[in-house]
A and B are shown apart, each in its own frame.
Chain A
Amino acid sequence: MVGLSEGEKEFIKGGIAQDLRSDGRKRHTYRPIYVETGVIPQANGSARVRLGATDVIASVKGELGKPSSLQPDKGKVAIFVDCSPTAAPMFEGRGGEDLSAELSGALQRCLLGSKSGAGAGIDLSSLVVVEGKVCWDLYIDGLVVSADGNVLDALGAAIKAALSNTGIPRVNVAAGAANDDQPEVDISDEEFLQFDTSGVPVIVTLTKVGKHYIVDATSEEESQMSSAVSISINRQGHICGMTKRGGLGLDPSVILDMVSVANFVSRQLFDKLDSEISAAEADEDES
């Protein structure tokens, strides 16, 4: 990251205080969002989201596996994020591991619910094939290609788009298998079930700079933040997960206010994302 001079820092903070950021946006305006789906043909579903200069790719791959004995009626989902060194030289070698772990953890909290599987944004019971024996293991991989702030929101949007693009092949189970054995399964190549993503939340990150909070911070604005709260909200307006980052403590009333702002902003984000995703799917069908 190139350092910022004192003058530049003042410019950023002053702009935010006056509701006019360096690129002309208001505090609660997102950068233009571009969504492309089906970018990784060998995956079950994939999407690429560009939020200004932030560019992330998410891919969903399904493999058949055995459900955990604690939750025999639910499939399994694992989320991994990798920060590519192309995004920043400091991600070279193991430099990106900290950020990758943080992003993976935040996404798991927002999308996967609690340890018992309750409250997950993704309907895990739709992934089971034979209860207790065979289920789908979904591996959601995120890759950060270019990072210019607000990577978490972009990843959330990419995962939502990738899940809408995901087709789970239909599995035909051979009848008459003995109770203890693994049943024989036949994965169909032609028939696919589209994943239901109406319950999948989006993530809105609010970054506090000075006395105000902004949505969709660029990396320069993030460098001036005192704290940031990432809230994951679904279509019904329910909060699905929350993460606070940054050292400075926040007054509880401020957090509640941030939650209501996030709720408001998420309406627009849902609409924008849904229209972008359908446009992307239409493009993909044509090509």
Chain B
Amino acid sequence: MEYVSPEGLRLDGRRPVEMRQLRAEIGVVAKADGSAMFEMGNTKVIAAVYGPREVQNRSQQITDQALVRCEYSMANFSTGDRMRKPKGDRRSTEISLVIRQTMEACILTNLMPRSQIDIFVQVLQADGGTRSACINAATLALADAGIPMHDIVTSCSAGYLNSIPLLDLNYVEDSAGGPDVTVGILPTLDKVTLLQMDAKLPTDTFEDVMQLATEGCKAVANYIREVKTSFFCLIVIWDLCYNYC
């Protein structure tokens, strides 16, 4: 099947290096300490953060750090065919773990010992790139909750179909069986914090695809910064304090 037409247009009319439309909204769940909704094209996710708060399960308490927990769930209606089990299946467990590890690396956990931070991500519509959308939403929700972080984390995916690297795959392109590289970076510190790939790629092509995904992550970071500059003051102040103290 042809995923890129001879004129260089993908199935949804995008160019190979073009991202889908991004949209973010903060504070969608009034009762949570921090929350955000993030859309990448038709993929729509909501993240809510509760914390820092007292650890619910005493045995899990860490004396010098905050405990970060994460749960990923998909709504019954999020995929094309109705899903029967919204959470607890293997894929959800794996993605919960991935998000937790990514966010834990960037939160300044040693500033909040013996406490717990819960990150809940709910997928409302899944059209490829749910992992990335969840990480972007979680970053915004953590910023909305005022939790100190080293840097924001942004994430994007890229693939390789019809011998062309494609940025930000949607569901149809993702199901094509080609490789799918998901990258998460800390944009200001310029470090990679998440890297996952499935299927196979020759090494030099892999470098190109990963570079493309990293560019995508930087584009997401620019979007977040442009639209939500007010939050960033908070994080920069924290960072300054942390560095000078």
Query: How many chain-B residues does the 8 Å CB contact rule pick out?
Result: 28
List which B1-49 residues lie within 8 A (CB) of chain A: 28-32, 35, 42, 46-48
Contacts of B125 on A, CB cut-off 8 Å?
Answer: 40-42
Cβ-defined contact, A87 with B77, below 8 A = no
Which of A39, A87, A94, A141 is B76 in contact with, Cβ under 8 Å?
A141
Contacts of B31 on A, CB cut-off 8 Å?
Answer: 53, 87-88, 146-148, 219
Q: Mark A47-63, 1 if CB is under 8 A from B, else 0.
A: 00000010101010101
List which B42-83 residues lie within 8 A (CB) of chain A: 42, 46-48, 50, 56, 71, 73, 75-77, 80, 82
How far does the alpha carbon of A82 sit from the alpha carbon of B74 in the complex, in Å? 10
Cβ-defined contact, B30 with A143, below 8 A = no
Cβ-defined contact, B50 with A55, below 8 A = no
Contacts of B124 on A, CB cut-off 8 Å?
Answer: 39-40, 57, 143
A263 to B: closest C-beta gap in Å: 31
Cβ-defined contact, A42 with B80, below 8 A = yes
Known contacts A42-B125, A57-B124, A139-B82; decide if A87 and B75 are in contact (CB<8 Å): no
Cross-chain pair count, CB within 8 angstroms: 87
A226 to B: closest C-beta gap in Å: 24
Closest residue of chain B to A219, judged by CB? Answer: B31
Contacts of B86 on A, CB cut-off 8 Å?
Answer: 82
Known contacts A40-B125, A61-B82, A92-B120; decide if A86 and B46 are in contact (CB<8 Å): yes
Known contacts A42-B125, A146-B30, A146-B31; decide if A85 and B82 are in contact (CB<8 Å): no
Q: Mark B79-105, 1 if CB is under 8 A from A, else 0.
A: 010100011100000000000000000
Cβ-defined contact, B77 with A141, below 8 A = yes
Known contacts A40-B124, A42-B80, A145-B46; decide if A93 and B30 are in contact (CB<8 Å): no
How far does the alpha carbon of A86 sit from the alpha carbon of B124 in the complex, in Å? 12
Cβ-defined contact, B118 with A59, below 8 A = no
Q: Interface size bucket, A side?
A: 20 to 34
B122 within 8 A of A: yes
How far does the alpha carbon of A53 sit from the alpha carbon of B31 in the complex, in Å? 7
Cβ-defined contact, B75 with A80, below 8 A = no
Contacts of B75 on A, CB cut-off 8 Å?
Answer: 57, 59, 82, 84, 141, 143
Q: Mark A138-154, 1 if CB is under 8 A from B, else 0.
A: 01010101111000000
Most B C-beta atoms less than 10 A away, residue of A46, A61, A94: A61
How far does the alpha carbon of A40 sit from the alpha carbon of B73 in the complex, in Å? 17
Q: Mark B163-207, 1 if CB is under 8 A from A, else 0.
A: 000000000000000000000000000000000000000000000
How far does the alpha carbon of A82 sit from the alpha carbon of B125 in the complex, in Å? 15
B120 to A: closest C-beta gap in Å: 4
Known contacts A61-B82, A93-B71, A141-B82; decide if A86 and B120 are in contact (CB<8 Å): yes
A210 within 8 A of B: no
Cβ-defined contact, B29 with A85, below 8 A = no
8 new A-B contacts at CB < 8 Å, known A59-B75, A139-B82, A146-B29: A41-B42, A53-B30, A84-B73, A86-B48, A89-B56, A89-B120, A141-B77, A143-B124
Which residues of A line the B interface, CB within 8 A? 39-43, 46, 53, 55, 57, 59, 61, 63, 80, 82, 84-89, 92-94, 139, 141, 143, 145-148, 219
List, sorted by A's number, 8 A–B pairs whose CB atoms are closer than 8 Å: A41-B125, A59-B76, A82-B73, A141-B76, A143-B75, A143-B122, A145-B29, A146-B30
Q: What 8 pairs between A and B have smallest CB-CB spacing?
A: A86-B48, A53-B30, A59-B77, A85-B120, A141-B76, A146-B29, A84-B122, A86-B120
